[in-house]
């Protein structure tokens, strides 16, 4: 009983840090720098460790943007570059809080909850959670082989009953396209794609499927040319004639 109580009271260093990290931007930046670089700052552009913190010439304090500079390639960077934190101006203390809630909440955390607790906009909180979920996704694993079936679908909100509007399905709507690749009697790969152009879908197939495979798709013109990319060939299911 005493051992269980002691285990409950003993907190990891990360858990002890989190309240301060989630409320202080400088502490949040230093926290991510330690975790991402594992104690050795590294330039994301050339991978050199010959880097230094940029400081204010007047007071010697750290640069307000928390910049680093590489002695080798001369480029400036922050801990955000090359990570899911990049291309975002959302303070890192909010990222820390969202990561914390995402991994400790038994039933997950909603974007509305992040919005309320961090006092940021809903689009920003949704962006945070999308990036965090992407970062937490396990690796894709080995490429799929053999007979491969591929298809796309569209996912979005359902129309409200009785609203009197005509709701389209699929292409031409604001719904998000999702691309799925299935290995017969095997694994599956799926991802949200920006569009269903030939370049996007062919690129997704090349990334996930072994070139020796045989590909089966529907009649969508975006799949044209797959027989040149996969040794097993490309077969088409013709839905237009009832297949």
Same domain for 17 and 110, yes or no, is yes
Which phi-psi region, left, alpha or beta, contains residue 70 (left: φ > 0; alpha: ψ -120 to 50)?
A: beta
Could you tell me if 47 and 24 lie in one domain?
Answer: yes
Sheet holding 147-155, edge to edge: 188-192, 176-183, 147-155, 214-217, 234-236
Query: Do residues 43 and 130 both lie within one domain?
Result: yes
DSSP at 55? B
For residue 119, the enclosing domain spans 10-135
Q: Using CA atoms, how far apart are residues 5 and 211, in angstroms rounded to an integer?
A: 56
Q: Would residue 95 count as lying in a domain?
A: yes
Confidence of residue 167 (pLDDT cuts 50, 70, 90): low
**How many domains does one find in the chain?**
2
Residue 163: inside a domain, yes or no?
no
| CATH code: domain of residue 185 | 3.30.420.10
Quote the pTM value: 0.56
Distance CA 84, CA 116 (A): 22
Q: In 3D, which of 212, 226, 242 has the Cα closest to residue 150?
A: 226
pLDDT at 8: 45
Instruction: Say if strands 176-183 and 188-192 run parallel, antiparallel, or are unpaired.
Output: antiparallel
Confidence check: pLDDT of 19 > 50: yes
pLDDT digits (tens, 9 = 90+) for 105-158: 888 899 999 999 999 999 999 999 999 888 877 655 688 999 999 999 888 766
Domain co-membership, 39 together with 75: yes
Q: Which long-range contacts (CB under 8 A, 24 or more apart) does 166-172 make?
A: 171/196
3-class secondary structure, 105: coil
75 and 180 assigned to the same domain: no
Asked if 21 and 104 sit in the same domain, the reply is yes
Judgement on whether residues 87 and 16 belong to the same structural domain of the protein: yes
């Amino acid at each position: 009983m005493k051992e269980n109580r002691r285990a409950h009271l003993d907190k990891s260093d990360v858990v002890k840090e989190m309240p301060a990290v989630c409320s202080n931007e400088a502490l949040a930046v230093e926290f991510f720098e330690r975790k991402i670089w594992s104690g050795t700052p590294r330039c994301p552009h050339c991978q050199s460790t010959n880097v230094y913190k940029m400081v204010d010439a007047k007071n010697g304090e750290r640069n307000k943007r928390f910049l680093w500079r590489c002695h080798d390639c001369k480029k400036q960077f922050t801990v955000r570059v090359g990570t899911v934190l990049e291309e975002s101006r959302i303070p890192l203390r909010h990222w820390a809080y969202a990561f914390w809630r995402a991994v400790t909440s038994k039933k997950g955390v909603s974007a509305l909850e992040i919005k309320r607790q961090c006092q940021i906009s809903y689009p920003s909180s949704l962006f945070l959670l999308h990036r965090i979920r992407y970062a937490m996704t396990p690796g894709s694993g080995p490429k799929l082989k053999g007979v491969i079936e591929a298809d796309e679908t569209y996912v979005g909100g359902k129309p409200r009953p009785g609203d009197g509007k005509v709701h389209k399905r699929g292409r031409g709507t604001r719904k998000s396209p999702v691309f799925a690749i299935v290995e017969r009697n095997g694994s599956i790969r799926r991802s949200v794609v920006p569009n269903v152009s030939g370049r996007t879908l062919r690129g997704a197939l090349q990334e996930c499927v072994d070139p020796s495979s045989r590909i089966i798709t529907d009649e969508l013109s975006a799949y044209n040319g797959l027989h040149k990319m996969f040794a097993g060939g490309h077969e088409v299911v013709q839905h237009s004639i009832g297949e």
